[in-house]
């Protein structure tokens, strides 16, 4: 038996179910990227608003690339799915009812997706399409015109495949029909994610039709957001556990996440927005300081733990937290190397670091180091390299950030400290393999990887102090293994 409108009443009273009339909801947001994160984050905020504040904001969920089975299963479940908050000993369940429609470009056709976005009621198009989905170059924060999806969209603009291409085509139709524009809100982990989204959409539109690009510039807003909730990829074991919470009912789209959730949103919407603040979101004028804080302290330490942890054989973040040296390293990385680069005067960063470490210790969350390690070429710039640039400018030390970058370099070398092959997942996977194959182990490998311009730009490879610091850290991992290297670097002048 699976979750559906018919089976909903059979759930025990312990599971929160939609106590509002789902038919009263209007589809006012189209969301691109019905992945794990959106299901456990933005959709939950909307569900709380509908349940507790009579909000009528409903979602049309779309997957453009991948995730066909999620959309199919969601349709089979009458657009219902569950979210479980997990602690080591207790899981709370909630059935989310705010989805009104679900589409996949490969299953339903891209025309249906664009048509849904061109409906008069649509006020917001939001995205969680991973960093890859923006088809941008991190070094310029603008469109990558060599990207295969962008090349396709330039040739066939009415049948787009990329997220920016789909947004532009929907906006073109709205403009032609005399409909108002919508706001485009990125909820992906990128600094100034609204800015990046605006850059890619307008740059691609300009390549297509200057008048349309001009209309978009004047009528569409691209609010930035900072999003936070740890949502590990689902596994058969976590799906089974969800089924347990649902009293044996199956939910192929169910998702499990940590209890914590945070959302800071730039209050800049051209066609209205839900009252997210009533569900705990913070609406602010400038999100950047919060985004940087989260990207550098949380995501930066996560990536550090992912690379150095995976190499040492720690499969999950909570396993890294059982090693005091990794805890010390993460805390020192956050407070001594990331915090000094931030601009959040009203936040107690010591308390923030402690709260992050407490969240990492959650043994109910099986957050794989491998999952966090993926797509490093798109993640390193905002998680580590931006802070390193600040240290280089100020002449301050950054031993743990250097170790983090070196850890990534060892990781993409494809072999862990026990000699096991690593399954690298990265949009530049082939290029990385080529570099690794054609460079000698050691400093030559470091220098070869630093030649990746989209990651390191022109400035970092030209900075001898930086190259030396990463090469030294790399040598440390090469000689002693990741575990010992972390102990040596984190243990130095330990005061954390």
Ligand X SMILES: NC(=O)c1ccc[n+]([C@@H]2O[C@H](COP(=O)([O-])OP(=O)(O)OC[C@H]3O[C@@H](n4cnc5c(N)ncnc54)[C@H](O)[C@@H]3O)[C@@H](O)[C@H]2O)c1
Which residues in this chain contact ligand X in the complex, by CB under 6 A?
A: 33-38, 63-67, 128-133, 163, 188-189, 227, 229-231
Q: How far is the CB of 321 from ligand X (least distance, A)?
A: 17
With respect to ligand X, which residue has the nearer C-beta, 142 or 189?
189
With respect to ligand X, which residue has the nearer C-beta, 64 or 409?
64
Burial class (CB in 10 A: 0-12, 13-18, 19+), 86: buried
Q: Which runs of consecutive H residues, i.e. helices, occur in 126-225?
A: 148-155, 163-177, 193-208, 210-219
Q: How far is the CB of 372 from ligand X (least distance, A)?
A: 9
CB 450 within 8 A of CB 409: no
Sequence-separated contacts (24+) of 352-361 with Cβ below 8 Å? 352/293, 352/297, 353/297, 356/297, 356/298, 356/301, 356/330, 357/321, 357/327, 357/330, 357/331, 359/230, 359/258, 359/260, 360/302, 360/305, 360/317, 360/318, 360/320, 360/321, 360/330, 361/318, 361/321
The widest CA-to-CA distance across the chain, in whole angstroms, is 66
With respect to ligand X, which residue has the nearer C-beta, 105 or 469?
105
With respect to ligand X, which residue has the nearer C-beta, 66 or 350?
66
Q: How far is the CB of 427 from ligand X (least distance, A)?
A: 9
Interatomic CA distance for residues 368 and 296, integer angstroms: 19
With respect to ligand X, which residue has the nearer C-beta, 314 or 466?
314
Candidates 179, 221, 213, 173; CA nearest to 197 is 221
Q: How far is the CB of 126 from ligand X (least distance, A)?
A: 11
Chain residue at closest Cβ approach to ligand X: 35
With respect to ligand X, which residue has the nearer C-beta, 17 or 128?
128
Q: How far is the CB of 89 from ligand X (least distance, A)?
A: 22
Q: How far is the CB of 64 from ligand X (least distance, A)?
A: 4
């Amino acid at each position: 038996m699976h979750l559906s409108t018919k089976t909903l009443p059979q759930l025990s009273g312990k599971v929160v179910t939609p106590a509002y009339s789902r038919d009263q909801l209007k589809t006012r947001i189209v969301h691109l990227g019905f992945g794990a994160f959106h299901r456990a984050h933005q959709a939950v905020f909307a569900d709380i608003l509908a349940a507790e504040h009579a909000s009528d904001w409903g979602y049309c969920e779309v997957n453009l690339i991948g995730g066909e089975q999620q959309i199919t299963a969601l349709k089979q479940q009458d657009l219902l799915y569950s979210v479980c908050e997990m602690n080591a000993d207790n899981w709370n369940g909630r059935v989310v009812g705010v989805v009104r429609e679900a589409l996949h470009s490969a299953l339903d056709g891209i025309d249906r997706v664009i048509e849904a976005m061109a409906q008069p009621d649509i006020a917001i198009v939001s995205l969680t399409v991973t960093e890859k989905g923006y088809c941008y170059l991190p070094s310029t924060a603008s469109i990558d015109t060599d990207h295969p999806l962008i090349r396709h969209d330039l040739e066939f603009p009415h049948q787009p495949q990329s997220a920016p291409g789909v947004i532009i085509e929907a906006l073109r139709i709205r403009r032609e029909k005399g409909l108002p524009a919508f706001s485009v809100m990125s909820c992906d982990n990128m600094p100034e994610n609204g800015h990046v989204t605006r850059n890619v959409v307008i740059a691609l539109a300009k390549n297509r039709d200057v008048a349309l690009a001009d209309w978009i510039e004047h009528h569409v807003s691209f609010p930035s957001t900072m999003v936070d909730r740890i949502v590990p990829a689902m596994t058969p074991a976590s799906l089974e556990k969800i089924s347990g919470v649902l009293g044996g009912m199956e939910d192929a789209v169910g998702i499990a996440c940590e209890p914590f959730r945070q959302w800071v949103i730039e209050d800049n919407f051209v066609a209205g927005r839900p009252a997210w603040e009533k569900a705990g979101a913070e609406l602010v004028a400038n999100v950047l300081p919060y985004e940087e804080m989260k990207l550098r302290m949380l995501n930066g330490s996560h990536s550090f733990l992912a690379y150095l942890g995976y190499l040492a054989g720690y499969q999950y973040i909570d396993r890294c937290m059982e090693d005091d040296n990794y805890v010390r390293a993460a805390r020192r990385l956050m407070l001594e190397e990331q915090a000094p680069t931030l601009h959040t005067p009203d936040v107690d960063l010591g308390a923030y670091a402690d709260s992050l470490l407490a969240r990492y210790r959650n043994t109910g969350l099986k957050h794989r180091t491998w999952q966090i390690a993926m797509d490093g070429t798109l993640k390193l710039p905002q998680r580590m390299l931006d802070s390193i640039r600040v240290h280089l400018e100020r002449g301050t030390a950054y031993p743990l950030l250097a170790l983090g970058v070196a850890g990534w370099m060892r990781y993409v070398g494809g072999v862990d400290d026990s000699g096991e092959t690593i399954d690298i997942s990265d949009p530049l996977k082939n290029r990385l393999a080529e570099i690794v194959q054609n460079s000698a182990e050691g400093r030559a490998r470091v220098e070869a990887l630093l030649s990746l311009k989209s990651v390191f730009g022109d400035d970092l490879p030209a900075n001898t102090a930086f190259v030396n610091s990463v090469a030294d850290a790399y040598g440390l991992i090469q000689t002693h293994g990741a575990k010992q290297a972390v102990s040596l670097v984190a243990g130095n002048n330990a005061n954390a």
